[in-house]
Structure 1
Amino acid sequence: MHNVLIMLFLLILTHKFMSKFYFFLLYFLVFINFSAKSQKKTLKAKSITENITIDGKIAEEVWKTNTEVATNFIMFEPDNGKPISENKKTDVKVLYDNDAIYISAILYDNEPEKIQREITNRDVFGVSDHFSVFINGFNDGQQDFRFYVSAAGVQMDCVATKDNEDFSWDGIWDSKVAITDFGWVVEMKIPYAALRFSNTKNQTWGLNFMREIKRDVQKYTWNHVDTKIGAVIAQAGTLEGIENIKTATRLFLIPYTSAYYQEDDFASDRTFKAGLDIKYGINDSFTLDAILVPDFGQTKFDNAILNLEPFEQKLEENRPFFTEGTNLFNLGNLFYSRRIGGAPITEPGILSNEEITNYPSKVDLINAVKISGRTENGLGIGFLNALTEKTYATILNTDTNESRKEVIEPLTNYNILVFDQRFRQNSSISFINTNTTRNGSFRDANVSALLFDLSTKANSYNLYGDFKYSSINDIEDYNGFKTGLNFAKTSGRYRYLFTAKYLSKNYDINDLGIIFYNNYHGASANVSYRILNPTKLFNRFKIEQELNFESQNTTGKTQEAWYKTVLKANTLNNHYIEFAVVANPLDNFDFYEPRNYGSYVYIPKRVSSYLGIESNRNHALTIDATISGAKFDEDGRVNYGFAIRPKYRFNDKLSLEYTLDYIHKKNDRGWVAFDNSDIIFAQRNREIAQHDFTGKYALNNKMTLNLTARYYWSYSENDKFFTLQNNGYLAQNDNYSLNKNRNFNSWNFDFSYSWWFAPGSELSILYRNYAQDSSRNVEKNINTNLKNVFDSNMTNILSISLRYFIDYNRVKNKF
């Protein structure tokens, strides 16, 4: 608690105008306190010296003698609180030694022939029964390491926090399952290296087990999790009995080799790469991850689009180093990892007789390292550093035919430092700093943030807030800040959330984060009612009402103002339905679409709605469908669209899925050009159609063939032009006649073979081809568009990659 008081004192000193608010914060901490409702179960682990073979048979004698049993599971959903039936009885035992904990689970089922067991890729749940263990080594009620295994033997794992399950994290652990005539059996070995816990003589961990019976769409937990309380992790039981363990050195080496052959219409290339990833356990709580000579050639492709918005396209992170174990670094939403190794920050200046002949689309990463962990007093510490190389564009002088190079991204260092103090099983105060330093006279940036997330002891109420400060060192230096406060009732059938925020004009986190809107203040309110147990009509039901208002700071004009109603329901047949209506009853103004600081454009009143349906996942044929539409208070201006996704599961090994996502915007209006001092807008018709096709064939639970194909087509056809007036309204412009139409096609195809031949070790073979086609001539015939993209410069890549996981202790013992 001493650390908490120090951090609160720093918070109070940060900004004078927040003093009254922080006085209320202290009042909230000191005087609001409720007792917990649920009684925690306790299980005692047994120490062993015998060897355990993970084979799904539970044959060792130690499993049968004097070992406590976790049983009497309770339904989590849909009928929360209902005891498990005797014919679905579940018994779990835990053993341990100096290397790992061992878990056996007997999952009784009076109809074992109906146990669902689809074989999927790792971390994909599919249509299968599951057993899982949730372990919190610090017993702080705020973070679990979760290990799942399906009845088909497929592993899934994640790091879970209050609002997120991060399945990009992959632990190294072992499991086997066996289907029997009385149900199925699970045996697991979870090495201490896959967990984080304090260095104390007597360990007390948070613990829960979950069982999912897929055909009944039911989940059961060992320790009762009351769905009337929003916090799930804090409702775990406890594991005791682990004492005096002497854990081995946590040092893992993951060398890799990869070979690429690439060709297009103009050239071909062969590339061989080799590198090394290192994971080192500084102690039982902290881990160092380093990536040397990175290779991301087999990561998932980016979904290219026709982007007519005033902002960059936000891309998903697919590189394992930047997705695994980054929950600490994501606090405060200041970290957008695609900045590291992303597009260069500048474009070279060229003369009238020059042209750019080579402009790299991304900057290469030299290396990266991260250290993260948590002390026994609940203080989480994270440090991430990455270095990207100096990058040049090539410029050709068309008169002399000579080339020159110009730096478009200097040698750049990225840093993140995080301190996150947890306390009271459900609360935290955090400090985050991000820093981007570019060599030479290029732009530098620094952002700092203080966060607090406070809940009452019974997890009935929550108070969350932040203060963030950005400092930019550029041609002109500038600073900005953002602050916000959220208060919520987080339990019961009726819940509510009130928020307020303020962003200054110069608040900017875009060097290592991503933000689109600043220079506004706003408030919102959300009230919801939910049915948590089945009724005559629904398994679950929820209705939300939300109001949101935002005003631009400089002009005082309305930036956003809407009212939303959302209905969400799971039927008794386990179909999901969601319906929403959003009304924007006020005229508002867009301060970003004009692409000119100080300008803004009028956005008319509008009403929008959508209806979505997801069918029961247990069926062989499932269909998800959504229809949406919006009507503007402007002649003929409407949006409408639909998405449909049928999936057919032929058997437990083979499945195919197709998705069509279509949007039509009629008489849309948006920026198209600058004409001297004029800002030109166009009235345009837009269509967007995306086709996704995926297929999976599992040879077994370690070996799969996967197919992913995407075809995207979009056009924008201008009807008439306008000039933006100083008051934000548009005046028709009959003199502007340049062709600003757009037609864009994108194709991606991946076919891969993956074999996890040992824990943490993978052989993968990937064939990939891709192409893009862009034109000012709108083509509405899909066959012609397909022909154009396939006739463009198609790139083909064949790659083979081998990664091998080496445990230092096993190598040491062999020698």
Structure 2
Amino acid sequence: MNRLALFALTLGSSLVSLAQTNHNDTMPLIKAKKKITALKTQTNISIDGKLSEPEWQTAQTATDFIMFEPDNGQPLAHEKRTEVKVLYDNEGIYIGATMYDDPAKILKEITERDNFGTSDFFGIFINGYNDGQQDFRFFVSTAGTQMDALATEGNEDYSWDGIWNSGVSITDFGWIAEMKIPYAALRFAEKEEQVWGVNFFREIRRDRQKFTWNHIDNKIGTIIQQAGILDGIQNIQPPTRLFFIPYSSYYLNTNKTGTDNTFKAGMDLKYGINDSFTLDAILVPDFGQTTFDNVVLNLGPFEQQFNENRPFFTEGTDLFNKGNLFYSRRIGAAPSTYPATTADEEVLDYPATVNLINALKVSGRNAKGLGIGVLNAVTEKTDVTIRNKTTGETRSETVEPLTNYNVLVLDQRFRKNSSFTFVNTNVMRNGDFRDANVSAFLFDLNTRANTYKLSGNFKFSHVNEITENLNGYTGYLNFSKISGKYRFNVNSTYVSNKYDINDMGILFINNYHNVYANANYRILNPNKTFNSFNINTNYYAEFHNTTGRAQEAYMSVNINTTNKKNHYIGGGLQVNPFETYDFYQPRQEGRFSYNPQIYSGWFDISTNYNNPFALDTGVWYDRFNQDIRHNIGFYFSPRYRFSNQFSLIYYLQHIRQNADKGWVDYDSVNDDIVYSNRDRNTIENTLTGKFSLNHKMTFNLRARYYWSYTENLNFLTLKDDGHFENNNTYTQNQNNNFKIWNFDLSYSWWFAPGSQVSVLYRNNASHFERRVNKNIVDNLDHTLNNNLNHIFSVSVRYYIDYNQAKSWVKKV
């Protein structure tokens, strides 16, 4: 029996055994929904966490909360009962929640917005269309911190920030949360009588127990559909949703070359086109205070992928992420071309980024479940100066023309759990430069009881080069069981050799096909040992389309558990049983290098964050069936909460790669692709800290020192069969020693809803050399002396609601 047949037989037998579920794993239908009726109030409700207005005493009460995690289905004990009431007026809805508990045991760490921290919290989930598709979620902690998110099934987007008010108080019987959520922060149809999907949520942090008002059965593969009903809201009008966010900022930048002062001013705009759709626009962008990127020494054939830190491109982007065609860091990235130069010319000022002129997006979902997203951004024409080193003459050349980026998404949801989606991305560069267009059709079909899912996509890319047009495509099909104790997933992908989405997306490889399968078992309720337990088996095989050679193949098993003290323990094993081939590392069309069999294992521990001291740590090991090649790594991250205001987290990671094989150069003299046999060490140290004066004022610290070096032991020549032979003629120094230092200290004050003052001090430096220096202190010293850059900045943003502005004008 050959290896591929053995692989398929193992995969199939494992799937069959795990798919044979017993009668206890049958799928229940969603039970009857609870209902609460809102009471209209004429009183001016003070959001102070006291519930002192008389309407709170007469409003209907939502109670009898049920545990969501860990012991799903268990009722909340009477001594910890929760009682929620809902009022409304012409401006918004009001939520009053009384939570009984021992006040001496309530956890209440102070954190900045959208950080739950170690504290109890209360939340409300609102679906204004009651269609099971999207929630607006609002939370408040015992310390008064607000958290909010836009949620679709399986995804919570906390980058979205609504404008709403909240107040809390600790009492002698527990604590109280009070909220006012303006209608402008929600989406709902313009009807005389509103019927909304709603659920109330409470976490008792010390017990790591989560409860909901309407029971969410974890045997069912959905959460939003298991909401209760809120009715009684009548004759309200969706308000004009028009918001202006003017800003001004000042930057002082100093280093060895001099000092610069920069002042910026601009404005963001949000406008509710109708009850469903919102326009967001940035006029004169300013992203100067976004967090730094975790840059690494990248020796591979592909670019490093960075997280998006710019607020405009992170807020409410769920629609734009459909199909994974949009990598927002392309907008404003480095120019797409590099100028051709002669031997005696040099480029003086090649930029790291291109300036963004403006950007806007329109997004939302109507009452019939149609989600529409349109994003458009324009970057400016960018030139560089090229100098002749002999004559001193200079010339200018365009490396990025005026460029327009566009994303269009149409997402039709139906039956509350399924969807069809169309996505198109388009990049148009002015003049004789490359243009690109990608279109995709996606489908996600779930059975009515949310037991099984069939999903897939077809994508087509078109690149218009100056000399030729390139067309490519990919297809994907997935079938899975998504409910119960036993679940599985089987899918396959085909990618053609011309498929390319990298003008607006990110794609590392094409020209392959694969098959993947996963089977897993989980407990749905705690047992005597574990609060949660999950075991996964995974099987993957990938093949190069042109040659049919295997590019990757592995089998793995991993276990993830949480014990009765809420400590996480996990680990796994993986085997890459066959020799595979890498068609990308050689960096030359048609060439490949082989990868040996690999045996890997890992183990992770994360202790309960409720304790003042907690620890995250783990270790992994890879053994290659190739000489003495192996990798070993560990991470160690203690955290300590000194008080409800002050905490520190330290992170150390060390990776050692012995006898690693990697590309270093192309030797044009001997027509050789040169690899090296090398040792590599990487050490990363990160310190983060938080000191909160209150839930509106926070100091944050983040410092990172990254150091990675490679020492070449000897050089190798890549042979035509993908293996290596010694190269004794190549003599260039290809050692690497890269260090980077980043330090951010910031102060943030949310002085009014949606309005913020931010003060940031930042310094950073990087250093690269071909000399291997194994002294970590000496390397840090060299880095900090390599033109350390200092930046001090102050930014003020003020949120203006058109409806409030009208009342200001009337008073004047």
Using structure 2 for the length normalisation, give the TM-score.
Answer: 0.95
Matches within 5 A, 1:6-25: none
* Offset, 1:404: 1.7
Deviation of residue 142 (structure 1)? 2.3
Contact 1:630 1:639 (C-alpha < 8 Å) held by counterparts: yes
2:674 aligned with 1:683, yes or no?
Answer: no
The 8 Å contact of residues 567 and 605 in structure 2, kept in 1 or not, is answered as: yes
Aligned partner of 2:116 among 118, 125, 139:
125
1:605 equivalenced with 2:622 (yes/no): no
Q: Does 1:51 align with 2:44?
A: yes
8 Å contact from structure 1 (residues 140, 422) kept in 2: no
Question: Could you tell me how far apart the structure 2 residues matched to 1:450 and 1:137 are?
Answer: 28
In the alignment, the residues of structure 2 paired with residue 92 and residue 174 of structure 1 have an alpha-carbon distance, to the nearest angstrom, of 17
Whether the 8 Å CA contact 2:126–2:199 is kept in 1: the answer is: yes
Tell me if 1:764 matches 2:758: yes
What's the CA shift string for 1:231-259, capped at 9, x where partnerless? 11121112122222112211100000000
Partner of 2:56 in structure 1?
A: 63
Pairs within 5 Å for 1:233-632: 233-474=224-465, 475-632=467-624
Q: Is the 8 A contact 2:666 2:672 kept in 1?
A: yes
Shift of 1:813: 1.2
Cα displacement string for residues 295-351 of structure 1 (whole angstroms, at most 9, x for unaligned residues)? 000000111110011100000100000000110110011110000001111111111
Tell me the CA shift for residue 202 of structure 1.
2.3
Q: TM-score, normalised by structure 1?
A: 0.95
Q: CA RMSD in A?
A: 1.1
Which residue among 166, 169, 181 is the counterpart of 2:157? Answer: 166
Worse overlay, 486-495 or 720-729:
720-729
Structure 1 residue 34 displacement after superposition: 8.4
Contact map agreement 1:461 1:490 (CA 8 A) in 2: yes
User: What is residue 140 of structure 2 aligned with on the other side?
Assistant: 149
Q: Could you list the runs of 5+ residues in structure 2 that have no partner in the other structure?
A: 1-25
Instruction: Output the CA distance in 1 between the equivalents of 2:774 and 2:184.
Output: 56
Q: Deviations over 1:725-766 (max 9, x none)?
A: 122111211111111111000000000111000000000110
Residue 591 of structure 1: how far off its partner (Å) = 1.1
Q: How much does 1:476 deviate? A: 2.1
Deviations 1:650-695 (A, max 9, x none): 0100101100011110000011001113211111111111100011
CA distance in 2, matches of 1:469, 1:56: 54
The equivalent of 2:730 in structure 1 is 736
1:407-448 alpha-carbon deviations (Å, 9 max, x no partner): 111110000111000010101100000000000011000000
User: Counterparts of 1:575 and 1:712 in 2: how far apart (Å)?
Assistant: 29
For 1:134 and 1:157, locate their aligned partners in 2 and report how far apart those are by CA, in whole Å: 10
Structure 2 counterpart of 1:749: 743
Identity of aligned residues (%): 56
Indicate conservation of the 8 Å contact 1:34/1:457, yes or no. Answer: no
Q: Deviations over 1:505-553 (max 9, x none)?
A: 1111111110112111111111100012111110110101111111110
Residue 692 of structure 2: aligned partner: 698
* Whole-angstrom CA distance in 2 between matches of 1:526 and 1:256: 49
Q: What CA distance in whole angstroms lies between the structure 2 residues aligned with 1:755 and 1:619?
A: 28
Aligned AA (2:767): D
**CA–CA distance in structure 1, aligned partners of residues 28 and 631 of structure 2:** 51
1:105 to 81, 97, 106: 97
User: 1:194-236 CA deviation, whole Å, 9 max, x = no partner?
Assistant: 1122223322221111100011110000011111222111211
The one-letter amino acid paired with 2:230 is: L
Q: How far apart, in 1, do the equivalents of 2:126 and 2:86 lie?
A: 12
What is the rounded CA distance, in whole Å, between the counterparts of 1:473 and 1:35 in structure 2? Answer: 52
The equivalent residue for 2:640 is 648
How far the C-alpha of 1:47 sits from its partner, in A, is 2.2
Counterpart amino acid of 2:358?
A: N
Equivalents in 2 of 1:785, 1:180: separation in Å? Answer: 55
Tell me: CA distance 1:545–1:35, structure 2 relative to 1, closer, same or farther (3 Å): closer
The separation in 2 between residues aligned to 1:402 and 1:502, in whole angstroms, is 51
Greater displacement, 758-767 / 186-195: 186-195
What amino acid maps onto 2:646 in structure 1?
L
Q: Which moved more, 1:244-253 or 1:287-296?
A: 244-253
| C-alpha separation in 2, matches of 1:432 and 1:280 | 24
Shift of 1:270: 0.1
Q: Is the 8 A contact 1:140 1:426 kept in 2?
A: no
Cα deviations across residues 376-432 of structure 1 (Å, max 9, x unaligned)? 111111100000001112211112212222111111000011100001010110000
- Tell me the secondary structure at the aligned position of residue 331 of structure 1: helix
State the secondary structure of the residue aligned to 1:330. Answer: helix
| Structure 1 counterpart of 2:805 | 811
Output the amino acid matched with 2:109.
E
d(CA) in 2 for partners of 1:201, 1:36: 31
Instruction: Find the aligned partners of 1:237 and 1:79 in 2 and give their Cα distance.
Output: 20
* 3-state secondary structure, aligned to 1:152: coil
Q: Retained in 2: the 8 A contact 1:98–1:247?
A: no
Equivalent in 42, 46, 51 of residue 35 of structure 2: 42
Q: Is the 8 A contact 2:190 2:238 kept in 1?
A: no
Q: Output the CA distance in 1 between the equivalents of 2:691 and 2:672.
A: 57
Amino acid of the structure 2 residue aligned with 1:342: A
Bigger CA drift: 129-138 or 641-650?
129-138
Amino acid at match of 2:705: Y
For structure 1, which segment, 135-144 or 734-743, has the greater mean C-alpha deviation from structure 2 after superposition?
Answer: 135-144
Deviations 1:10-67 (A, max 9, x none): xxxxxxxxxxxxxxxxxxxxxxx987232211111222232211111111111112x2
Secondary structure in structure 2 of the residue aligned to 1:574: coil
SS at the partner of 2:123?
Answer: strand
What is the CA–CA distance in structure 2 between the aligned matches of 1:101 and 1:405, rounded to whole Å? Answer: 60
Question: Deviation above 3 Å: which 4+ runs of structure 1?
Answer: none
Q: CA deviation at 1:94?
A: 1.1
SS of 1:447's partner is: strand
Q: Is it true that 1:779 corresponds to 2:773 in the alignment?
A: yes
